[in-house]
Amino acid sequence: MGDFTIQISSNLVNRLAEDVETSKKKTKRTKRKVPKEPRQPQSNVSQKPTLDDSEKPKSATAPGWPMQPSLFLPATSPLQPANSELDSIRSVLQESEKVVERLQKQEENMLQEVTQKAKDLRDKEYKLPNPKPMPCVAELDVALACYKEHTKDPLKCASLVSSLGDCMRRFRQQVS
């Protein structure tokens, strides 16, 4: 079964609702003008016998008009076709809501995938190169600790500072 979509606008639903309301109301009928037969002189004209009102057939329409089926009202119940149409519209709406929910789930999954891929690309692109190890870290830490202890007499840390200097010279010689 192929996938398809049906879009029902609010305008269509409103029009259908108005059709239901108007079919419930009685329609106002306008009387048609009946062309008058030209009067003929009464002399030498044979007159037809006329039926008085008690002999005329009774009908629901205007006198003189034959009974015609209504063009606006169905032969069965006026609510039956409207209800079936509304039921079919409701079923279509329910199906379309299911399709919308499925599409929203797909969109959420795709959004998560795209976000994850973007994060992976960003991590790969902006990854810092392996930092070089800092030389003489132990000697530097010992010298700084000594300076913190002897803030008033920094000359006590001179031997530690000279050993830090020796370590730095050895490192430069190894690199070059």
**Phi then psi dihedrals of residue 83, to 5 deg:** -65, -40
Average pLDDT over residues 44-65: 49
Does the structure show a pLDDT above 50 at 61?
no
Does the structure show a pLDDT above 50 at 56?
no
**Domain ranges across the chain:** 76-127, 137-175
Average pLDDT over residues 145-157: 93
Please give the pLDDT value at position 58. Answer: 47
Average pLDDT over residues 102-123: 93
- Residue 150 near residue 132 (C-beta atoms within 8 A): no
pLDDT digits (tens, 9 = 90+) for 68-100: 555 554 455 555 667 888 888 889 999 999 999
Please give the pLDDT value at position 110. Answer: 96
Q: Global pTM? A: 0.29
